[in-house]
Amino acid sequence: MREAEQTPVWAQESWDQIVRKVKRTSGRIQDRFPHASVNGEYVLEPAHWWTAGFWPGLLWLVYRDTKDEALRSYAESCESQLDAVISGFDRLDHDLGFMWQLTSVARYKLLGDDESRRRAMLAANLLSGRFNVKGSYIRAWNPWRPEEDNSGWAIIDCAMNLALLYFASETSGDPRYKHVAMEHADTVLEHFIRDDGSVNHIVIFDSKTGEKLGVNGGQGYAPDSAWSRGTAWAIYGMAISYKYTGEERYLNAAKRAAHFFLANLPEDRVPHWDFRLPAGVAKYRDSSAGACAACGLLLISELVHETEAGLYRKEGERILESLYSAYGAWDREDEEGLILHGTSHFPEGRNIDVPLIYGDYFFAEGISRLLKHGELFW
């Protein structure tokens, strides 16, 4: 065993708290789709919202350890409800990955359910159908308003959605999905991850010619700022691309984004929502960015030479420990969220300084990883 892989005591304590709280919260949420916890209670979203996979993913993480059948039935019901979403084409976007990875792929990996494998394949087909050969990117969204043309928009978040395509190629033996994933990953390297390791949130291409037209700040403060969750998506997403392809350029990109992220963390290791904020702009934390980045750091630590592994593992652990000890809502019976102080969308003023279901999911995934509960869902 690598010396750095001793499981810290606080990780087991933290997992016990996660299990206790998810079991309690599942009594109310059941098989619905929470996003942000406002005034202590998770606000529910429709099944087509991009966050639909995180609650069932969290249920699967806890089910894997506890075999609590109620949690399993809620997770399975969430997955079934996504069947109506997948045939409602207009509302689908590139987040097919987030949604079906943590429902169908997770269930397939845990239980070998063949219907789940087929659902994941269908989602992967729709995701690869969003690929534009001009510009080599997976289109982010469909128009939000009539007449809107966002056919040239691609976003860094999609780096995480590539896992579904790698899974599809592995499970089917058909390399086309992996080809699409790698084309998009190469576009991330060329156009999203900057030399210093910070990232663009949105890159806009001419969807007819593939020419790059510009960047958009999206959920970051400005086009040239450094949205912390976007950096976390890049760290983990590029590490996943390396895991499935063995191509060093993805590992190097994951490391570059990781080094930028780590160098810009405040003392308590939990990032502000953007790393480059001018004076006077509120520096809320985004605990979800910390949790996701920690998972990416743990994956990097598993993929690099053992002389480097300890660094990434230690930094991932430091973030998770801080989230556990200083951001956890463990003694708050009036709060459904696991970890406080996430920021969903500061520029639009939505869900600021609240628990977010993806923060809770990635926190639980990171702790479960430290405890070696089993295979990654990604």
What are the catalytic residues? 95, 157
Torsion of CA 301, 304, 309, 314, to 10 degrees: -30
Q: Which residue is nearest to ligand GLY (CB)?
A: 157
DSSP sequence for 249-271: HHHHHHHHHHHHHHHT--TTS--
* Smaller CB separation from ligand GLY, 169 or 231: 231
Query: Is 229 annotated as belonging to a binding site?
Result: yes
Question: To the nearest whole angstrom, how small is the minimum distance from the Cβ of residue 105 to ligand GLY?
Answer: 18
* Smaller CB separation from ligand GLY, 207 or 344: 344
- Unique residue bearing structure tokens 């009539």: 146
Site membership for ligand GLY, residue 219 (CB under 6 A): yes
Site membership for ligand GLY, residue 229 (CB under 6 A): yes
Query: Is 157 annotated as belonging to a binding site?
Result: yes
Question: To the nearest whole angstrom, how small is the minimum distance from the Cβ of residue 219 to ligand GLY?
Answer: 6
Question: To the nearest whole angstrom, how small is the minimum distance from the Cβ of residue 344 to ligand GLY?
Answer: 6
Whole-angstrom Cα Rg for the chain: 19
Neighbours of 341 (CB within 10 A): 23
- Tell me the one-letter amino acid at 4: A
Interface residue with ligand GLY among 157, 315, 336, 360 (CB under 6 A) is 157
* Smaller CB separation from ligand GLY, 76 or 286: 286
List all residues 6 or more positions away from 376 whose beta carbon is below 8 Å from its beta carbon. 299, 369
Site membership for ligand GLY, residue 231 (CB under 6 A): no
Question: To the nearest whole angstrom, how small is the minimum distance from the Cβ of residue 200 to ligand GLY?
Answer: 14
Query: Is 224 annotated as belonging to a binding site?
Result: no
CB 156 within 8 A of CB 187: no
Question: To the nearest whole angstrom, how small is the minimum distance from the Cβ of residue 48 to ligand GLY?
Answer: 14
* Smaller CB separation from ligand GLY, 50 or 131: 50
Sites for ligand GLY among residues 26-65 (CB under 6 A): 50
Q: b or e along 210-246 (b: 16 or more beta carbons within 10 Å of the residue's beta carbon)?
A: eebeebbbbbbbbeebbbbbbbbbbbbbbbbbbbbbe
Site membership for ligand GLY, residue 344 (CB under 6 A): yes
Name 131's bridge partners: 138
* Smaller CB separation from ligand GLY, 157 or 315: 157
* Smaller CB separation from ligand GLY, 95 or 321: 95
Site membership for ligand GLY, residue 365 (CB under 6 A): no
**Cα-based angle 96, 371, 65 (whole degrees, multiple of 5):** 65
Question: To the nearest whole angstrom, how small is the minimum distance from the Cβ of residue 315 to ligand GLY?
Answer: 21
Query: Is 360 annotated as belonging to a binding site?
Result: no
Q: What's phi and psi for 139, nearest 5 deg?
A: -60, 135
CA 243 remoteness from chain centre: 16
Site size toward ligand GLY, by CB under 6 A: 5
C-alpha pair distances (Å), 66 with each of 63, 328, 368: 5, 21, 12
Binding site residues, as ranges?
95, 157, 229, 233
Interacting residues toward ligand GLY by CB under 6 A: 50, 157, 219, 229, 344
Binding site residues for substrate, as ranges?
95, 157, 229, 233
